[in-house]
Amino acid sequence: MSEKKKSRPPPSEGEDTEPPSPPARHQKWKLARLRSSGNYTSESAREISEKIVRYNSYLNSSFMFYIVFFFNKFFCYIVGFVG
């Protein structure tokens, strides 16, 4: 491992030195059930994949809502607004 790091050229300024993060579990699951043609291996795999996508989009939107909501409350408290 250290030999690989030594063989890499030093990063230039502004370049990210961290490797990209690995794909999420649900993305790996979907990729494992996709054929090279882009079709799923079974109908049940396609249905489960659609549920995963819906659930993740729900989580992302809910998460962003709470971030914005709590940031607003915190900002109003710091600035002195009543809300």
Residue 12 lies in a domain: no
Residue 37's pLDDT is 93
pLDDT digits (tens, 9 = 90+) for 34-69: 999 999 999 999 999 888 888 887 777 777 777 777
Residue 7 lies in a domain: no
Residue 11 lies in a domain: no
Residue 78's pLDDT is 62
Host domain of residue 63: 23-83
pLDDT digits (tens, 9 = 90+) for 29-41: 888 999 999 999 9
pTM of the model: 0.48
Residue 4 lies in a domain: no
pLDDT, mean of residues 26-31: 87
Residue 15 lies in a domain: no
| Total domains in the fold of the chain | 1
Residue 49 lies in a domain: yes
Q: How many CA atoms lie within 13 A of 46 on its CB side?
A: 7
33 vs 36: CA distance, rounded Å: 10
Residue 9 lies in a domain: no
Residue 51 lies in a domain: yes
Does the pLDDT of residue 75 top 70, yes or no? no
Structural tokens at position 9: 């050229």
Helix (H) or strand (E) run with residue 80 in it: none
